[in-house]
Structure 1
């Protein structure tokens, strides 16, 4: 073989070897991420096992609100509430894929970062930082469909770009979210009180100086069916947050109202109804738990109609009767949180006035 042919042959074989190596690499990574995020990045562990909700806690929703099917966590969107992790996280990289099914109607959900274990007063949402999961919302100046990051219900943050209305909310730099029926990829980098959101492979939003900056992670149910899959997390070293920078820890409270029905409660027909995740009294008839509870602590939120003339009502917690009143200078329709204890055993009975609303009903057993 001539010298020229030899050089050409060597170049050809080198090129062929490179092409073969590239092809093998691509075919060997069936989970290649079209967003450009490496699926082989070290240190990630699944946050969802693809089979059941082990490691997750249904905080304030119906048992059927969140379920697993075909390797996905699916929320029906009813009632509004959240599914949180069993433990807190501080610094991490979280990756998740999500898809709304609505093609035209507004579809809302979210991912809560650094949240409390229970809802904030008078709302089904936790205090924390929300990463918006939203499509088909009308174009406005204060919110978008493309990855807003913002503080909710008492949490604090500073957006990377000033909000047009001064809100603690970062609007994304560009529109990258796909519509209903299509999967989106979020990469959430949370470190030292700052959050950076990558939407389908590019950073678009961020906040800093967050409080809390350590807490629970959660998926939100808010009116529309939403699917989540391939949820994984890589924890980063702690920066030792101060006590006031850490979310509340779970104290053992579990929900005894599913937000949708009167299941687990007893009342005369037509005297109570559920509406918007609340128990609503239609008159003066009592509402009683369907079973007795031993020594316990009951936590719940309540309010009266704005025009209520009567400003007090009673509750019986396992034999311990208490009268609850609106302060003389207080507004009847402002939400209030009560925490009542009983060392006895018995039913929980609400003795209302018409229009009383109750939500976020949680119970914690006490040692005898």
Structure 2
């Protein structure tokens, strides 16, 4: 009869979701299907003949870019580090990771209430406030005049990142780490600190990937829970 420990070891060895992960890590993508995620794509509700914008291709999670929408985790998370690798598969373009996502289609009848970590080419690491807010040092220099700030349509929602050259050349993989701890969100691109925010108006929520016009490939999507004292 197998002991409980031996059974757990066998599960880790033969289950690709867990194999190779450090203790406490959670794989958000198993390399074969979109288990644990669901899509919110408004145009598909109007025309079901449109292509599905999120697919699995050769072990990669791929956002085809159009029709535009979001791939959202079924679970919500708080106090964690999210790590993943991404690259633009063809032409450079736009995409993003949303953290603390909640109410669907809260902005422009498309974007869920959240804080976006921008992946747009040459702008990776910007914050975008989507019905949620976050603050940074040197706020006016990085967000514009205070009277224009806001989290709704027509307001200044973009907060510039700290660097201009953290991304690898097009076609190469980039590594992203996003740390959400309490009301802070910190972002590294290729191990370089690119943004650090505080006083976020949300503490927890779902995680979403965007289809926003450009084809983007993702792999190694892992989440590590932060153990607070």
Secondary structure at the aligned position of 1:189 is classed as strand
Call closer, same or farther: CA 1:65–1:222 in 2, change over 3 Å. same
**In structure 2, distance between residues paired with 1:145 and 1:179:** 13
Q: Which residue number in structure 1 is paired with residue 133 of structure 2?
A: 156
Is the Cα contact below 8 Å between 1:65 and 1:75 reproduced in 2? yes
Ranked by relative contact order (alpha carbons within 8 Å, sequence separation 6 or more), the top structure is: 2
Is the Cα contact below 8 Å between 1:98 and 1:185 reproduced in 2? yes
Q: Which residue number in structure 2 is paired with residue 124 of structure 1?
A: 110
TM-superposed CA distance for 1:172, in Å, is 2.1
Is the Cα contact below 8 Å between 1:68 and 1:74 reproduced in 2? yes
Which structure 1 residue ranges, 4+ long, deviate > 3 Å from structure 2? 39-42
**In structure 2, distance between residues paired with 1:238 and 1:88:** 18
Q: Which residue number in structure 1 is paired with residue 57 of structure 2?
A: 69
Q: Which residue number in structure 2 is paired with residue 201 of structure 1?
A: 191
What's the C-alpha RMSD, in Å, of the aligned pairs?
2.2
**In structure 2, distance between residues paired with 1:174 and 1:88:** 31
TM-superposed CA distance for 1:237, in Å, is 4.1
Unaligned runs of 5+ in 1: 1-38, 136-143, 240-368
Q: Which residue number in structure 2 is paired with residue 54 of structure 1?
A: 35
Call closer, same or farther: CA 1:42–1:160 in 2, change over 3 Å. farther
**In structure 2, distance between residues paired with 1:132 and 1:121:** 16
TM-score normalized with structure 1 length = 0.48
- Please show how residues 1-368 of structure 1 align to structure 2 within 5 Å: 42-60=23-41, 62=44, 64-103=52-91, 106-135=92-121, 145-152=123-130, 154-162=131-139, 163=142, 165-166=144-145, 167=156, 169-237=159-227
TM-superposed CA distance for 1:174, in Å, is 4.5
Q: Which has the larger radius of gyration?
A: 1
Call closer, same or farther: CA 1:201–1:164 in 2, change over 3 Å. same
TM-score normalized with structure 2 length = 0.76
